[in-house]
Structure 1
Amino acid sequence: MDRPGFTASLVAGGVAGVCVDLILFPLDTIKTRLQSPQGFNKAGGFRGIYAGVPSAAIGSFPNAAAFFITYEYVKWFLHTDSSSYLMPVKHMLAASAGEVVACLIRVPSEVVKQRAQVSASSGTFHIFSNILCQEGIQGLYRGYKSTVLREIPFSLVQFPLWESLKALWSWKQDHVVDSWQSAVCGAFAGGFAAAVTTPLDVAKTRIMLAKAGSSPASGNVLSALHGVWRTRGLSGLFAGVFPRMAAISLGGFIFLGAYDQTRSFLLELGRESP
């Protein structure tokens, strides 16, 4: 990938990530509390809805930037012809690679954020310090495997669907989609992907919130899913599905729209520069 494209992807991804995480943080808190083992009310209900926001704010830019740098680089590296039937496969591989890299930044931020969301009386730095003292660096990466196992299926649905909807819309109107049209496609793709991957999100939340040394803390996704199924049934596996769909649909609209808009602006700026 050329340097302007690399820089544009980095900045555009970071800007889009910060916009989404801060605007939609309350919905994420509600979703986390609905999925927590102690239940919504005991986890804080609607109180302290911005608990954990410093962790999200710090992690947003590098997390989103890492994803989109990897996503665009892998798409460029594979350089499949745009008319090829292999295009969806290219988008799936690029999105999966992006998630694996981004989760190296996302997971520590997510662990601290989610624990703050269900314990609003504890500050973000206090929770971060406790994790390091009690569990070490590995404590910050608890749930890495479950996060990757959630994000890859999510991306395998969202990104090929997003790219396909954009291509279909472009073909229908005989020109490349505008940023708002890309955002609409992103909202639909994100909402659909969110719904079908909610059980994996529930498992990830349970693993991250589990007490050190407990069975869920081991990070076994199948065991976490079985535990939820045994105690709360199907409704437990889909706990928080509506706020998750709402957050990710709105997030897809803002994130992918802001990404396309910012990237196009930066590339245009680069072309105009001497």
Structure 2
Amino acid sequence: MDLQDSKLTSKYLGPLLGGALAGLAVDVAMYPLDTLKTRLQSQQGFYKAGGFGGVYKGLLTVASTSMPTASLFFVSYEATKNITQPLLPIQYAPLVHLLAANIAEVLACLIRVPTEVAKQRKQTFVGGNASSISILVQAFRTEGLCKGVYRGFLSTVLRDVPFSSIQFPLWELFKKMVQDRSHSKITSFESAVCGAAAGALAAAATTPLDVAKTRIMLATDGSAHKVRIAPVLAHIYAERGIGGLFAGVGPRVTNIFIGGFVFFGMYEKCKMHVEIYLDS
């Protein structure tokens, strides 16, 4: 391996492995809270959607795809930062982080959306006891690729892009504040705390978009108000008011706060170990 290849490996192997392990750990650990949040947001209501039972339904679907999704996100995030940072003055760093997070989210949604469709239909028993693959095959046969397998792609992007637009610039800002104050390299624990705080703020602000995304993915017919985000939000507000728009905000914020701590802490820890190993 020549010097150029070694530098490239050092630059992206850490985000690749760190993202994979971080994604798997947080998705498995926080899955029950995610199930409760989905059921709170479902149109049929919490108890009809399953209540407190079977909170691990759909876990295998998420566990099998969380690693490639998180890896794709962080490799894309770091690659975009590495390309754009040298082109802009340091004061434009938040813009760099914003752009990197947005590009990474759109790419990650190519894996995330089919996973979410299968997972949420299992969580609320819309898919019955069918396997995740069977649910996606059935969705493709009856609804097609865009309206079935990738149902809710736009609403997921419209939820996740604003979320990342808040979370990642805040994470980077909080890390810089901590680093400037301590005058030393930030630790994985400090990064975890910064990620948890940034994630909680982003989660609270984007809950209405998450509710709309859940409703769209759980819909099994093609009625107009169920496949476009603006009519869905209007329908939810007319049906349940402000409380409906923020349904599941407690589990969502708790999930992402705790999950953010695990996610960013493990990501930084793993990336640090990979960099040390490659430099040795």
Same fold judged by TM-score > 0.5?
yes
Q: Which residue of 2 aligns with 1:122?
A: 129
Whether 2:155 is the aligned partner of 1:149: answer no
Q: Which residue of 2 aligns with 1:226?
A: 234
The within-5 A match list for 1:156-195 is: 156-195=165-204
CA distance in 1, matches of 2:77, 2:22: 14
Whether 2:14 is the aligned partner of 1:5: answer no
* Cα distance per residue 1:155-214 (max 9 Å; x no partner): 111001001101101111110111011000100000010000000000100100012222
Q: What is the one-letter code of the residue matched to 2:136? A: F
Tell me the matched-pair count: 271
* Aligned partner of residue 178 in structure 2, secondary structure: helix
Q: What is the one-letter code of the residue matched to 1:191? A: A
The within-5 A match list for 1:18-167 is: 18-80=24-86, 84-119=90-125, 121-125=128-132, 126-138=134-146, 139-167=148-176
Percentage identity across paired residues of the two chains: 46
Give how far 1:82 is off: 9.8
CA distance in 2, matches of 1:76, 1:36: 40
Q: Which residue of 2 aligns with 1:254?
A: 262
Give how far 1:137 is off: 2.5
Comparing 53-62 with 35-44, greater Cα deviation is found at 53-62
Q: Provide structure 1 residue ranges, at least 5 long, that are not aligned to the other structure.
A: none
Say whether the 8 Å CA contact 1:80–1:86 is kept in structure 2.
no
Say whether the 8 Å CA contact 1:80–1:87 is kept in structure 2.
no
Give how far 1:7 is off: 1.6
Q: What is the one-letter code of the residue matched to 1:171? A: D
Q: 1:213 aligns with which of 222, 238, 247?
A: 222
Q: Which runs of 4+ in 1 moved over 6 A?
A: none
